[in-house]
Chain A
Amino acid sequence: MNFIQWALSPWGERIPIHISWDLLWAAAIAGVLFLVVHAIYVGYWAKPADESVDESTLAAARVPERVARHSFLARAYHWVMAACMFVLLFTAFLPKVGVKFSWVKIHWTAGIVLTIIVLYHIIHSTFWQDFWAIWPDKQDVVDASRRFRRAMGEAAPPPKKFGKYPLENKLFHLSVLCAGLAVIFTGFFMMFRVRTPFFTRNPYLFSDMTWGVIYVLHGLAGVIFVALIVIHIYFALRPEKFFLTKSMIFGWISRERYLGHYDPERWPVDEGVREAGQSKAPEVVS
């Protein structure tokens, strides 16, 4: 299997033209393999997490029954981005697997919507949200090391509970960030190769080699998204994570989940309330 398809330019140079479409299947298989291995690991080896919270803690905690996790705008962003992603992936890859339809205009239209909402997200998360909440920090590394050592049967201090986002969420976000920026940057320039109302078409904007690299990066990021989305949907549907999926719909998690999974010091409930656009904490929803 080749990773890249090469061709000869009119000047006889060997240039990349795009990734090998076999990588699409490789990415899909990698995503499925990951979830199979993870499901087996969780089913047979992993120790169940202790999520119990005793009644006295619940009573003592000044935490509302429903803890706001995602604001309406954050949820709307997530689902619009999800819709864009599906449109982009289906329009990109269905024709490659034999489903033929007129896809180019739909693809770049969805790409433009994705670009706009990602710009919105960057601004919103920078100035109106806790920007650093989604980035891995020193505590995440320490806790990950402790979890790994304990999973291997070694003696290690118990890890802290998570902040608002567990390390795996942060790493997933980082992966999506890298792949997303790659498709957006390359996709922006690729729009100069097709006819759109926005730019004057200019196939000579870059050299053939640079264009080839742009196409390869775009394709590569696209197939990486296939694997990422398979994994993301898998975790979204896992029973122990489903409350997070529900929170992306309804905006909140229960007090029990909050106290069972999260460290109030690292994710103070006030923050969640503030994010939900409310002025007073805590919110009590019965």
Chain B
Amino acid sequence: MAVIHDVMPAFELFQPVTIEDALTLLARYGAQAWVLAGGLDSFDWFADRIKRPAVVVDLSQIKELSGVRSVGDGLEIGAMTTLTEVVRHPILRQKYSLLTEAAEAAASPQIRNQGTIGGNVSQDARCWYYRGGWTCYRAGGNMCYADTPTGMNREHAILGADRCVAVNPSDTAPALIVLDAKMVIRTPRGERVVDAEDYFIGPGTDITRLTILRPGDLLTAIRIPSTWAGAPFYFEKVRDRNVWDFALVNVASAIVTSGKAIERMRLAVNGVAAHPLRLKAVEAAVLGKPRNEETAEFAGKLAIQGAEPLQYNGYKVPLMRNLVKRAIRGAVAEEAA
């Protein structure tokens, strides 16, 4: 049971100043090590004494993990770049406003000052049974307490559930998927660059993780190519409290039109499954279609195909349908404007 204690359990703290040192520490301590970025997810776990790592590797002293740099035809954002820095970065605001909007929608100003983009995409699930310390599937057990007839599952998944019904809470994740971002991961075997879409995993693949990061792996940067730079974007997040809350559902889209027809499009939602969903079927279905209410309506209906609401989250089905409609209409309207 989650009980707030005054003091966190003791751990050995390391503050490496280079990525290599951090990787050495992670390799040395393996699954005993906990990677600390902004600390906003981590300190919840520690304070509640649910997670008790023996070693914490704090990345805050590694300068090369911070900042936004030009790389090739795009930008590279260090994983330790704060959400506030992302929001305020002039080139990001000019060319990739989808990401800055999404980052600005995350939490509160104070949290954005501390929270990092790497942490935002790598944060753990917010299911309260899991965060409360129950031995559920995600915690290594054999039960999902949220997916029961009496479970409190208002915020949980309507798509892609596989035993666990927790959702990914990240706001920047769907924006990065739409922007075709690449996640740069340093592992003991070298560097891996994976599509943002493939960075997130569902419970069918590994029920105890939300991302492909394994013990010893480190997300070092996020590269955003110029593919969608300057495209008409749409981001919307629906939450219980507009001032500061996780998304019930959020949606991100980029649409490029030719004449009246949709020429290129990317669409992703989060808060409906254990990983952000790129709606490829919708993208394919609306390509070449005119930008109008009819197309938006069609896309919304298509997006929710296969949804399986739980006892208390049936509202997410129309919410997702309407957000997809608005994403298409909104982007269209923005371009028209």
Contacts and interface: CB of A to CB of B under 8 A. Distances in A.
Interface of A: 5, 7-8, 10, 17-18, 95, 98, 100-105, 193-195, 201, 203-204, 208, 211-212, 215
Interface string B129-150: 0000011000011111101110
Interface string B191-219: 00000000001101110000000100000
Nearest to A201: B147
B135 A102 contact: no
Contacts of A105: 204
B205 A211 contact: no
Interface residues of B, number: 21
B131 to A, nearest CB: 14
A104 B142 contact: no
B142 A102 contact: no
Given A10-B145, A102-B162, A204-B149, A17 B135 contact: yes
A177 B147 CA distance: 34
B301 interface: no
Given A193-B163, A195-B308, 15 more contacts: A18-B142, A100-B205, A100-B206, A102-B202, A102-B204, A102-B205, A104-B162, A104-B163, A194-B162, A203-B143, A203-B144, A203-B147, A204-B149, A208-B143, A215-B142
B158 interface: no
A17 B148 CA distance: 18
A216 B126 CA distance: 29
B33 interface: no
B272 interface: no
A211 B142 contact: yes
Contacts, number: 46
Query: Could you tell me the dominant secondary structure of chain B's interface residues?
Result: loop
Contacts of B163: 104, 193-194
Contacts of A18: 142
Contacts of B201: 100
Nearest to A214: B142
Given A104-B162, A104-B163, A194-B163, A211 B143 contact: yes
A19 B145 CA distance: 21
A98 B202 CA distance: 15
B161 interface: yes
16 contacts: A7-B141, A17-B135, A17-B140, A17-B141, A17-B142, A95-B206, A100-B201, A102-B205, A104-B204, A105-B204, A193-B143, A194-B162, A195-B161, A203-B148, A208-B143, A211-B143
Contacts of B206: 95, 100
A18 B142 CA distance: 8
A101 B148 CA distance: 25
Nearest to B143: A203
B143 A101 contact: no
A100 B201 CA distance: 10
Contacts of B149: 204
Contacts of A17: 135, 140-142
The 6 lowest CB-CB distance pairs between A and B, nearest first, are A7-B135, A102-B204, A100-B206, A17-B141, A215-B142, A17-B142
Interface in B271-307: none
A103 B204 contact: yes
Interface string B153-196: 00000000111000000000000000000000000000000000
